[in-house]
Chain A
Amino acid sequence: MTVFLTLAGIIILATVAAGLWRILRGPEDAERMMAAQLLGSGGVAVLLLSAVISGIPAIIDIALSIALLAAFASAAFVLEAFGTRGDEPADRP
Protein backbone atom coordinates (compact mmCIF):
# COMPACT_ATOMS: atom_id res chain seq x y z
CA MET A 1 0.00 0.00 0.00
CA THR A 2 2.74 2.45 0.89
CA VAL A 3 4.44 1.68 -2.43
CA PHE A 4 1.29 2.68 -4.26
CA LEU A 5 0.92 5.89 -2.23
CA THR A 6 4.56 6.76 -2.86
CA LEU A 7 4.04 6.21 -6.58
CA ALA A 8 1.00 8.49 -6.53
CA GLY A 9 3.02 11.14 -4.68
CA ILE A 10 5.81 10.98 -7.26
CA ILE A 11 3.33 11.30 -10.12
CA ILE A 12 1.72 14.35 -8.50
CA LEU A 13 5.11 15.97 -7.95
CA ALA A 14 5.97 15.36 -11.59
CA THR A 15 2.72 16.96 -12.77
CA VAL A 16 3.20 19.95 -10.49
CA ALA A 17 6.71 20.40 -11.85
CA ALA A 18 5.27 20.29 -15.37
CA GLY A 19 2.61 22.79 -14.31
CA LEU A 20 5.30 25.18 -13.11
CA TRP A 21 6.47 25.49 -16.70
CA ARG A 22 3.40 27.65 -17.14
CA ILE A 23 5.12 30.25 -14.95
CA LEU A 24 7.93 30.64 -17.48
CA ARG A 25 5.71 30.78 -20.50
CA GLY A 26 2.49 32.23 -19.14
CA PRO A 27 1.81 35.56 -20.85
CA GLU A 28 -0.55 36.76 -18.11
CA ASP A 29 0.35 37.39 -14.49
CA ALA A 30 -2.84 35.59 -13.50
CA GLU A 31 -1.57 32.38 -15.11
CA ARG A 32 1.68 32.54 -13.21
CA MET A 33 -0.37 32.84 -10.06
CA MET A 34 -2.42 29.85 -11.11
CA ALA A 35 0.71 27.77 -11.41
CA ALA A 36 1.70 28.87 -7.92
CA GLN A 37 -1.75 27.86 -6.70
CA LEU A 38 -1.31 24.47 -8.35
CA LEU A 39 2.04 24.13 -6.61
CA GLY A 40 0.26 24.83 -3.33
CA SER A 41 -2.43 22.22 -3.76
CA GLY A 42 0.06 19.75 -5.24
CA GLY A 43 2.21 20.23 -2.17
CA VAL A 44 -0.80 19.67 0.04
CA ALA A 45 -1.60 16.42 -1.76
CA VAL A 46 1.95 15.11 -1.54
CA LEU A 47 2.22 16.07 2.12
CA LEU A 48 -1.02 14.25 2.93
CA LEU A 49 0.24 11.16 1.12
CA SER A 50 3.53 11.28 2.99
CA ALA A 51 1.69 11.75 6.27
CA VAL A 52 -0.08 8.44 5.70
CA ILE A 53 3.01 6.72 4.30
CA SER A 54 5.25 7.68 7.23
CA GLY A 55 2.44 7.41 9.76
CA ILE A 56 3.30 10.78 11.29
CA PRO A 57 0.01 12.72 11.74
CA ALA A 58 1.88 16.01 12.32
CA ILE A 59 2.57 16.30 8.58
CA ILE A 60 -1.13 17.00 8.03
CA ASP A 61 -0.71 20.27 9.93
CA ILE A 62 2.09 21.23 7.57
CA ALA A 63 -0.26 20.57 4.64
CA LEU A 64 -2.85 22.77 6.35
CA SER A 65 -0.42 25.67 6.60
CA ILE A 66 0.71 25.30 3.00
CA ALA A 67 -2.90 25.41 1.82
CA LEU A 68 -3.40 28.58 3.86
CA LEU A 69 -0.24 30.23 2.49
CA ALA A 70 -1.21 29.41 -1.09
CA ALA A 71 -4.51 31.19 -0.58
CA PHE A 72 -2.78 34.21 0.93
CA ALA A 73 -0.31 34.35 -1.95
CA SER A 74 -3.06 34.53 -4.54
CA ALA A 75 -5.04 37.04 -2.52
CA ALA A 76 -1.95 39.23 -2.14
CA PHE A 77 -1.32 38.98 -5.86
CA VAL A 78 -4.81 40.11 -6.78
CA LEU A 79 -4.77 42.86 -4.17
CA GLU A 80 -1.38 44.19 -5.31
CA ALA A 81 -1.76 43.77 -9.06
CA PHE A 82 -5.21 45.21 -9.44
CA GLY A 83 -5.59 47.75 -6.69
CA THR A 84 -7.58 47.42 -3.51
CA ARG A 85 -10.95 47.41 -5.26
CA GLY A 86 -9.76 45.13 -8.06
CA ASP A 87 -9.98 47.93 -10.61
CA GLU A 88 -7.01 49.53 -12.38
CA PRO A 89 -3.58 49.09 -10.76
CA ALA A 90 -3.49 51.29 -7.66
CA ASP A 91 -1.17 54.10 -8.80
CA ARG A 92 -2.96 56.32 -6.32
CA PRO A 93 -1.11 56.70 -2.95
Chain B
Amino acid sequence: MTLLLDAFTIVAVSAGTFFFVAGTVGLLRFPDTLSRLHALTKADNLGVGLIVLGLLPQATSLGMGIRLIGVWLLVQLAGATVSQLLARAAARRNGART
Protein backbone atom coordinates (compact mmCIF):
# COMPACT_ATOMS: atom_id res chain seq x y z
CA MET B 1 0.00 0.00 0.00
CA THR B 2 2.76 2.41 0.92
CA LEU B 3 4.43 1.63 -2.42
CA LEU B 4 1.26 2.86 -4.12
CA LEU B 5 1.26 6.05 -2.02
CA ASP B 6 4.93 6.66 -2.76
CA ALA B 7 4.34 6.17 -6.47
CA PHE B 8 1.42 8.60 -6.32
CA THR B 9 3.60 11.13 -4.51
CA ILE B 10 6.36 10.81 -7.08
CA VAL B 11 3.96 11.27 -9.98
CA ALA B 12 2.11 14.24 -8.46
CA VAL B 13 5.21 16.07 -7.23
CA SER B 14 6.97 15.62 -10.55
CA ALA B 15 3.88 16.89 -12.36
CA GLY B 16 3.82 19.91 -10.03
CA THR B 17 7.49 20.54 -10.69
CA PHE B 18 6.88 20.27 -14.42
CA PHE B 19 4.19 22.93 -14.24
CA PHE B 20 6.51 25.13 -12.23
CA VAL B 21 9.18 24.84 -14.89
CA ALA B 22 6.65 25.36 -17.69
CA GLY B 23 5.19 28.42 -15.96
CA THR B 24 8.60 29.96 -15.38
CA VAL B 25 9.71 29.32 -18.95
CA GLY B 26 6.45 30.93 -20.06
CA LEU B 27 7.11 33.90 -17.80
CA LEU B 28 10.47 34.39 -19.44
CA ARG B 29 9.63 33.73 -23.06
CA PHE B 30 6.13 35.04 -23.73
CA PRO B 31 5.92 38.29 -25.73
CA ASP B 32 3.64 40.55 -23.72
CA THR B 33 2.61 41.18 -20.15
CA LEU B 34 -0.77 39.49 -20.08
CA SER B 35 0.44 36.24 -21.64
CA ARG B 36 3.26 36.19 -19.10
CA LEU B 37 0.69 36.59 -16.36
CA HIS B 38 -1.18 33.66 -17.88
CA ALA B 39 1.95 31.53 -17.69
CA LEU B 40 2.69 32.67 -14.14
CA THR B 41 -0.69 31.66 -12.77
CA LYS B 42 -0.22 28.20 -14.24
CA ALA B 43 2.96 27.76 -12.25
CA ASP B 44 1.34 29.36 -9.23
CA ASN B 45 -1.83 27.35 -8.94
CA LEU B 46 -1.08 24.07 -10.66
CA GLY B 47 2.50 23.79 -9.46
CA VAL B 48 1.81 24.32 -5.80
CA GLY B 49 -1.51 22.46 -6.03
CA LEU B 50 0.00 19.30 -7.48
CA ILE B 51 2.89 19.39 -5.05
CA VAL B 52 0.49 19.65 -2.13
CA LEU B 53 -1.55 16.84 -3.61
CA GLY B 54 1.60 14.74 -3.88
CA LEU B 55 2.65 15.51 -0.32
CA LEU B 56 -0.69 14.63 1.26
CA PRO B 57 -0.01 10.87 1.54
CA GLN B 58 3.34 11.67 3.11
CA ALA B 59 1.76 13.78 5.84
CA THR B 60 2.54 12.19 9.22
CA SER B 61 -0.60 13.42 10.95
CA LEU B 62 -4.11 14.59 10.02
CA GLY B 63 -3.36 18.12 11.24
CA MET B 64 -0.38 18.30 8.89
CA GLY B 65 -2.55 17.26 5.93
CA ILE B 66 -5.19 19.86 6.78
CA ARG B 67 -2.55 22.57 7.01
CA LEU B 68 -1.13 21.49 3.66
CA ILE B 69 -4.56 21.93 2.09
CA GLY B 70 -4.90 25.26 3.92
CA VAL B 71 -1.68 26.52 2.37
CA TRP B 72 -2.86 25.40 -1.05
CA LEU B 73 -6.21 27.22 -0.63
CA LEU B 74 -4.44 30.41 0.42
CA VAL B 75 -2.09 30.23 -2.55
CA GLN B 76 -5.07 29.67 -4.84
CA LEU B 77 -7.05 32.62 -3.47
CA ALA B 78 -4.01 34.91 -3.31
CA GLY B 79 -2.93 33.93 -6.81
CA ALA B 80 -6.36 34.52 -8.27
CA THR B 81 -6.88 37.96 -6.75
CA VAL B 82 -3.33 39.10 -7.43
CA SER B 83 -3.59 38.04 -11.06
CA GLN B 84 -6.76 40.09 -11.46
CA LEU B 85 -5.09 43.13 -9.91
CA LEU B 86 -1.95 42.79 -12.00
CA ALA B 87 -3.93 42.21 -15.18
CA ARG B 88 -6.05 45.30 -14.60
CA ALA B 89 -2.96 47.32 -13.73
CA ALA B 90 -1.11 46.13 -16.83
CA ALA B 91 -4.11 46.65 -19.11
CA ARG B 92 -4.74 50.10 -17.68
CA ARG B 93 -1.12 51.08 -18.12
CA ASN B 94 -1.05 49.79 -21.71
CA GLY B 95 -4.40 51.45 -22.36
CA ALA B 96 -3.17 54.70 -20.90
CA ARG B 97 -0.14 54.65 -23.14
CA THR B 98 -1.86 54.04 -26.48
Contacts and interface: CB of A to CB of B under 8 A. Distances in A.
Nearest to A7: B17
Interface string B70-98: 11001100110110011011101100100
Contacts of B92: 82, 86-87
Interface string A61-93: 101100110110011001001100011100000
Interface residues of A, number: 47
A4 B78 contact: no
Nearest to A19: B24
B94 to A, nearest CB: 9
29 contacts: A1-B6, A8-B13, A8-B16, A12-B47, A15-B24, A15-B25, A16-B24, A18-B24, A18-B28, A31-B33, A31-B36, A33-B86, A34-B40, A37-B40, A41-B75, A42-B20, A44-B71, A48-B51, A51-B64, A57-B61, A57-B63, A57-B67, A60-B64, A61-B67, A71-B78, A71-B82, A75-B81, A78-B88, A81-B89
Nearest to B5: A1
A67 to B, nearest CB: 5
Interface of A: 1, 4-5, 8, 11-12, 15-16, 18-19, 21-22, 28-31, 33-35, 37-38, 41-42, 44-45, 48-49, 51-52, 55, 57, 60-61, 63-64, 67-68, 70-71, 74-75, 78, 81-82, 86-88
Majority SS at the chain A contact face: helix
Interface in B22-47: 23-25, 27-28, 33, 36-37, 40, 43-44, 47
